[in-house]
Amino acid sequence: MESKTPSWKKGRGKLGLLQPLIGYWIAETDSPMGRMKCTREFKPLLGGHYIELNAKWMFSEKVYEEVAIIGINNEIVSFWSFTSDGKKSQGQLADGSDIHPEAICFEAQMPAGLARMIYWPDEHNGFYWAVESKVKKGWNRFTEHHYIATKSI
């Protein structure tokens, strides 16, 4: 029988939980807007006191970009996100263990209500990422991608 060991090697400190995400990642999938490619780059920023995320969603006719900074706010791992459509959001680390025991989950209060994004390991290659909104019966998933490592974006 296969033993279950942690598949993500976390680093030191409060931001160490993000160590498995550091690097370049790519996902390709079909979407309501046609074929989509999304790249994500996570890198340490300002001496490792922050993590910077640069995400780029590429559709056949449109590109959507996000820059997010992840850091510590009042002792809680938090994020501040800015997107190419002029929107912004902020949130903090939350429990995503209902998805996977090693999930990294952030929740944010959005204009339409509570939302969360979750990262969790694929036991074979890369990681999954999803966005969900809170509904009366629990969480409603409206986006999910599978990312694999790439050398550069």
On whether the 14-150 domain is CATH 1.10.274.10, my answer is: no
Contacts of 113 (CB under 8 A, 6+ apart): 133, 134
- pLDDT tens profile 44-59: 999 999 999 999 999 9
Stretch 85-92: mean pLDDT: 96
pLDDT of residue 55: 97
What whole-number distance in Å separates Cα of residue 2 and Cα of residue 99?
21
pLDDT of residue 4: 41
- pLDDT tens profile 25-51: 999 988 877 889 999 999 999 999 999
For the chain, the structural domain boundaries read 14-150
CA atoms within 13 A on the CB side of 146: 7
